[in-house]
Structure 1
Amino acid sequence: MRTTVTPQRLREFFQPRSFALVGASDKSTFSALLHRNLVAAGHESVTYLVNRRAERVHGRRAHPSCRAIGRPVDLAFVMVPAAAVGDALRDAAAAGVRGVLVLSSGFAEAGEEGRRRQEELVDLAAELDLLLLGPNVLGFTNVAAGVPAMVLADQPQVPGNVALISQSGASCGAMKDFAALAGVGLSHVITVGNEAMVTVGHLIDYLVDDEQTRAIAVFMEGIRQPEVFAAATRRAAEAGKAVVVLKAGRSELAARAAASHTGALVGDDRVIDAVFARHGVIRVDTIESMLVTAGVAAHTGPLVRPGVGVVSISGGACDILADLAQDTGTALPELSAATAEHIRAVMPSYGHVQNPLDITGAAILDPSLWEEAVAAVGQDPGIGAVLAVNSLPWREDGAPFYGQKYVDAIGAGAARSAAPVIYLTQVTQPIGARARDVLDRGGLTHVVPGLQLGIDALARVARWSGDRQRLAEEGGAGRVRPRDVDPVPLSEADARALLEDARIPVVPARHVRSAEEAERAAREFGVPVAMKIVSADIAHKSDVGGVRLGVDARAAAEAYAQIVEACGANAADARLDGVLVSPMRAHGLELLVGVTRDPDWGLMLAVGLGGVLVEVLDDVALTPLPVSPERARSMLEGLRGAALLRGVRGRPGADVAALAEVVAAVGRLAEELGPHLESLEINPLRAAGSCVEALDVLVTWRDSTPHTSGEEATGC
């Protein structure tokens, strides 16, 4: 490939000065709408129509080819049947075109033959040094540059600070329309179609450097080129630009081919959640939440602190917001003594100073209460953002708004506030031209329609702000040095050696090769023991009689003989290497700690409560590697059953710091084992106070027969 998708090439692509509509036709609604958009934006003289059969299209001269135009063209919009797209690209390249949008369908979305056709198209574009967006794409609008190269009506006219990217063209129309209704200003609207060459990740990377864009809203169904997406979202987080993603396609958990608890727990959507969290992506579930959250993030940027202050003339709104804040985990901190004193000095005696703050109906007579309250709350040391709850007109009748003086006072308070201020209406309503004019007169730049949307969006932005800080602190972690390992099936003794060499604590054990040694080992432990066959060739020891549990010293010799005899009979081809003897464990908390390789995102670490019952309890946290002890601790404390780690009803808890160190060590070992590793799982990992030890370990290699080094019932 000669064509490399870079931010510089994309900057050229999204700021074209001339256009060729290849396949323009009076019979095509797409062609007519695209032509209308470009003409309305003032590009008629540099918009060229290409149709090899018609002399006139849309009432204008048509050219038989791009080469026949005879003038430079920056962007070609290709609207011909799939079979003719290749010739259209050759013609465009010969005319000096550098970028092409392919509206045509019939490619990867159409099955195996379409996928082959799409691969050939990308190869051809690369050969011709063309940057290709699509195919199966409706185009883009660069609002600030005044370029509506898009087959959608009602293009945004006033540039905002949120870039909208959508894999769905039809859904994109509804999204941009809602953005207009909700007062979310858009800098770009980009559809990506099949992402044959330019992917969502490339677009995010480009928009990180776009001065007009402060947040990015993305609707996607899948992620192409995950490494590009991950790098771009990390860069966006570092730049303080939130990436808010609505990803469709949540599915049931899919088990890995390997018979591993970890594999069964790492379903596609869980991996996406973990990857998004790791790279500072805000995930949402609705179009409304996606756009409103992105709008809030564009307005506030990363919050300096998570606390939210609320100022309202409605006590009811204060009560509703308090409930919503509790539901979303939004912090509404108590106001400082200095803030409270300042507010009391201007509030009526019957008012109660707290957060949320009801400034009472006295503000109707004295609008300055709004200014003083918003300014004071916005300067409070515990507040990161302020919600000012008030009404706005929704009728477009042109009449003066009775409440303009209150909006003006809120705007004056916002100008004095150290924290960003968001104007919030009580119900979802359209933010039309009249409402926008009212806000502009008051000097207010951002509004959210509805209490639920506002508090939900601010809660997400607050969490993202904290996550972003943690990501920055973890950014310096270096990669480990790979071990030189032979990816062959491991016996239990071999697997234990791997853990011990990595300083991961394991339950004590003796590797014995005779009945006498087994009895001696059992007596040394002085408690009932677990006895398991040692063989690199036996994956499931219990299935062939290779496990005995709760064996006392007097029965250890006989148990040894029974294990060896049973395995010799039931696994005749297996190489046997004695028996492992370890003490049975009682009490303590059992966990699973495992690493499995995701085909797109690489090694993923899972931590779950329940040990052998982890799938039943379904209490698991995931993260891509590498993982620091700090992140491991955050994962443990984020489990639903985290209270068990602290001890409940007389049961001992666990040393969470020690446990986190072990979890991080498991992650490091998985990385060290290199590209051959498929999965590494400790289940259960027993934690009792400061004692943390692995009771079983499972190791599988890629393209190798799975091998288990232990049995689930070792710890009890």
Structure 2
Amino acid sequence: MPGNTDSPDRLAAAHALDPLFAPASVAVLGASGDPLKIGGRPIKFLKSHGYAGTIHPVNPKGGEIQGLPALRSVGELPRGVDHAIVALPASAVLDAAAACAERGVRAMTIFSAGFAETGPEGAAMQARLSALARDSGMRIIGPNCMGVMNFRIGMIASFAFMVDLGLPRLGRTALVSQSGAFGGQALVMANRRGLPLGAWVTTGNECDVEMADCIAYFAGDDQTDVIMGYMEGCRSPGKLVAALALARERGKRVVMVKAGSSDVGKAAAQSHTGALAGNDRVYDSLFRQYGVYRADSIESFFDAAYAAGSGKRMPQGKVGVFTVSGGVGVLMADVAERQGLELAPLPQPAQDTLRALLPLAAVRNPVDGTAQIWSDMALFRRFVRTMLSEGRYEAVVFFLTAMPYSPPLQQPIIDIFTELRQEFPDLALVLSMLAPPALQDTLAERGYLVIDDASRAIEALAALHVLSQPSAGPVDRTKLPRLAHMAELTTGNEHAAKQALAQAGIPMLPERAVADPDEACRAARELGYPVVLKALSADIVHKSELGAVELGIADEAGLRAAWDAIAGRVAQAAPQARLDGMLLAPMAPPGVEMILGVQRDPVFGPVVMVGMGGIYAELLDDVALRIAPVDHDAARAMVRELKAFPLLDGARGRPRADLEALADAIVRLSVFAGVHADRLESIDINPLRVFEAGKGAAALDAVLLARAAREEETA
């Protein structure tokens, strides 16, 4: 999708979920007068948390439920109720949902379990729910979910007992979880950690509304700045990509935990690419492309979202550390270095000022005021203010130990840090301390991030630094090369694979498929010695391991000897292999060997990969991936991500490789994969030799596996 031309449509689609999150009326099917029961809890929560809309309890007994008049059936509901909460046995859900659709109910939350998670019969019932949602336009979240909460309007459409433990402070962060159990835990954690939330939703079995739909909704919500997501899987990759694109476009910060993996390439046992692109690196790549911060633990998930909610930016990652403990300052510096943050020293004049104030202090960065600084709060004020005014930092962390528990220090701490926040409103300021909850709350309200653990404080700023970086966003498909769709795409030998890839513009050396030694000699005279000779067989993928390659053949005698040697080794090592003759090519000039590949991801389809090639492909495990297709900017970024990039960029006096030729090959391979996505299983180009700058590149070996052939092999 070029640019953001479809954003109005995506915003309109996102706002279609308004009846779920901001309903003017709510019906509760299976309503109970007992506030401890699943059908009673939503009514209790709606009433006690200030929901101002109309509540319609529905129960066959009628009467009064929790002080509200109850309706005996869905048929008694007024037409056009926004949101129905379903707390019924699974066997009654389909009829109730159909009745709601008939009455024009716009959205539905289904708590009931007993659907796809239970087996084929439940899956069939869930499929009928999906069809009902699709045909009627009524949006359904669940089944088997814990519900939806919009804290801004007191709309608590949930049975989670965690609500009784207290709700988080009201804020501009939304949390979306595919797991109800995690969603419940997250609600408690947000409350305990002081993470302000505006909305919370668990999506359950996702018969209709998916996690991606909810991300898109909050991306379009003007009252949401940060979106937290707990993801276990992705049902609709196109929706997820569009949702992340909308969030990026609208400046929303997305923090994600992704459990599990996409298991790329499990079926491609012979593919280097399949082995290298495994686990969930595809999600890493997707998140990087759209500026999503991926947390590696629940703790970092909450800390990153908390920091993101500050609204501060740290594009350079420059951090100052003030501490009253030299040892902890060293620990924080170590963490900062590992996280890629810069602890630049204070300018020398500022160091001189601080040293004059307190000769025993360490004044470089971290700045250690020592415990002595607590004896003079005026000195404390001058110390920290000098850091903020002279350090040119984007963020400063103050490690204050447990001293804020001291009653005589509490008001001076409030006064000092209130003044600093007012004077330096653009800085990200973090207080790492143990303090009474009231003091922590006061300083949090002043705009400080309060994180008791010093290492976590640094890691939260590292997340903020990542979230402050520019991201590539969607590929502009209008700038991609145009490739024709090949009428046939089949698994074949190396020569056939190269012929197909050459049509995509992948650079190749001239080569000849030859049937016997005489034909090989004629081809060698035409191409010029020295040459390389390889066995040509679709049954032999890794030829070097079988001794099916001879390099640097200088003359005809050597060529005939090489032919006999290869044929003998193949006959011994792989007697079942079908030989199609041999492949002869001139020796390639020196260069850096890379691997390019494509692997079909079970979720996202073709994924393109680049890494160090030759025999080091799997040994070094240094690769970069993107969902195909990619443009030239993305291809260049992939190459720069490699740890081995300095080898390509002229490190230690090496000639600089032709990076543009490498990027162009990545782009063309990715477009080829996209054009043939329906029939392609995997491609390995290993190696692609990249020559000196300006001299191009060439694919020296290639394997192409067509999807139909792979399905036949595994059937």
TM-score norm. by structure 1 comes to: 0.85
- SS of residue matched to 2:479: coil
- Contact in 1 for aligned 2:262/2:602 (Cα 8 Å): no
1:23 and 2:37 correspond = no
Match of 1:183 in 2: 194
Match of 1:291 in 2: 302
- SS of residue matched to 2:608: strand
The count of corresponding residues between Structure 1 and Structure 2 is 692
The Cα shift of 1:179 comes to 1.2
Match of 1:354 in 2: 364
The Cα shift of 1:133 comes to 1.1
The change in CA–CA distance for 1:328 and 1:17 in structure 2 (over 3 A counts) is same
The Cα shift of 1:118 comes to 0.7
Match of 2:4 in 1: none
The change in CA–CA distance for 1:400 and 1:198 in structure 2 (over 3 A counts) is farther
Q: Counterparts of 2:629 and 2:612 in 1: how far apart (Å)?
A: 21
Which of residues 200, 203, 218 in structure 2 aligns to 1:207?
218
Q: Counterparts of 2:402 and 2:171 in 1: how far apart (Å)?
A: 20
Which of residues 361, 364, 389 in structure 1 aligns to 2:374?
364
The change in CA–CA distance for 1:572 and 1:471 in structure 2 (over 3 A counts) is closer
- SS of residue matched to 2:50: coil
Structure 1 residues without counterparts, runs of 5 or longer: 708-716
Q: Counterparts of 2:634 and 2:131 in 1: how far apart (Å)?
A: 42
The Cα shift of 1:89 comes to 1.7
1:481 and 2:490 correspond = no
Match of 2:3 in 1: none
The change in CA–CA distance for 1:102 and 1:447 in structure 2 (over 3 A counts) is same
Match of 1:114 in 2: 122
Q: CA offsets, 1:438-488, max 9 Å, x none?
A: 543xx235322321222112112212322xx14159768734323131224
Which of residues 425, 431, 451 in structure 2 aligns to 1:424?
431
- Contact in 2 for aligned 1:532/1:581 (Cα 8 Å): yes
Q: Counterparts of 2:177 and 2:565 in 1: how far apart (Å)?
A: 64
The change in CA–CA distance for 1:705 and 1:139 in structure 2 (over 3 A counts) is closer
Q: What is the letter of the counterpart of residue 25 of structure 1?
A: S
* Percent of residue pairs bearing the same amino acid type: 32
- Contact in 1 for aligned 2:29/2:39 (Cα 8 Å): no
Match of 2:450 in 1: 447
The Cα shift of 1:660 comes to 3.9
The change in CA–CA distance for 1:381 and 1:661 in structure 2 (over 3 A counts) is farther
Q: Counterparts of 2:194 and 2:267 in 1: how far apart (Å)?
A: 45
The Cα shift of 1:188 comes to 0.8
Q: What is the letter of the counterpart of residue 603 of structure 2?
A: D
- SS of residue matched to 1:280: coil
1:641-656 equivalent positions in 2, closer than 5 A:
641-642=644-645, 644-645=647-648, 654=657, 656=659
- SS of residue matched to 2:171: coil
For structure 1, which segment, 545-554 or 167-176, has the greater mean C-alpha deviation from structure 2 after superposition? Answer: 545-554
Q: Counterparts of 1:352 and 1:394 in 2: how far apart (Å)?
A: 22
Which of residues 681, 684, 700 in structure 1 aligns to 2:705?
700
1:104 and 2:109 correspond = no
Match of 1:456 in 2: 459
The Cα shift of 1:574 comes to 7.3
Q: What is the letter of the counterpart of residue 177 of structure 1?
A: V
The Cα shift of 1:648 comes to 8.3
Match of 1:195 in 2: 206
- SS of residue matched to 1:295: helix
Q: Counterparts of 1:500 and 1:120 in 2: how far apart (Å)?
A: 48
1:11 and 2:14 correspond = no
Q: What is the letter of the counterpart of residue 124 of structure 1?
A: L
Q: Counterparts of 2:677 and 2:474 in 1: how far apart (Å)?
A: 25
Match of 1:403 in 2: 410
Q: Counterparts of 1:648 and 1:446 in 2: how far apart (Å)?
A: 41
The Cα shift of 1:68 comes to 2.5
Match of 2:6 in 1: none
1:148 and 2:148 correspond = no
1:524-673 equivalent positions in 2, closer than 5 A:
529-532=531-534, 547=548, 549-550=550-551, 551-553=553-555, 554-557=557-560, 576=580, 579-583=582-586, 589-642=592-645, 644-645=647-648, 654=657, 656=659, 658-671=661-674
Q: Counterparts of 2:132 and 2:166 in 1: how far apart (Å)?
A: 32
Q: CA offsets, 1:375-429, max 9 Å, x none?
A: 554556853223233367998xxx96732322321232122226333332246x8
The Cα shift of 1:132 comes to 0.9
The change in CA–CA distance for 1:444 and 1:464 in structure 2 (over 3 A counts) is closer
For structure 1, which segment, 329-338 or 315-324, has the greater mean C-alpha deviation from structure 2 after superposition? Answer: 329-338
- SS of residue matched to 1:161: strand
The change in CA–CA distance for 1:236 and 1:378 in structure 2 (over 3 A counts) is farther
The Cα shift of 1:208 comes to 1.4
Match of 1:390 in 2: 400
1:471 and 2:482 correspond = no
Match of 1:74 in 2: 82
For structure 1, which segment, 632-641 or 561-570, has the greater mean C-alpha deviation from structure 2 after superposition? Answer: 561-570
1:271 and 2:272 correspond = no
Structure 2 residues without counterparts, runs of 5 or longer: 1-10
The change in CA–CA distance for 1:638 and 1:363 in structure 2 (over 3 A counts) is same
Q: CA offsets, 1:275-318, max 9 Å, x none?
A: 22222221112222111211101213443432222233443432
Q: Counterparts of 1:401 and 1:161 in 2: how far apart (Å)?
A: 35
The change in CA–CA distance for 1:376 and 1:571 in structure 2 (over 3 A counts) is same
Q: Counterparts of 2:564 and 2:497 in 1: how far apart (Å)?
A: 24
- SS of residue matched to 1:531: strand
- Contact in 2 for aligned 1:373/1:413 (Cα 8 Å): no
Q: What is the letter of the counterpart of residue 599 of structure 1?
A: P
The change in CA–CA distance for 1:664 and 1:335 in structure 2 (over 3 A counts) is farther
Q: Counterparts of 2:480 and 2:372 in 1: how far apart (Å)?
A: 61
- Contact in 1 for aligned 2:430/2:457 (Cα 8 Å): no
The Cα shift of 1:695 comes to 1.2
The Cα shift of 1:587 comes to 7.1
- Contact in 1 for aligned 2:480/2:631 (Cα 8 Å): no
The Cα shift of 1:500 comes to 4.5
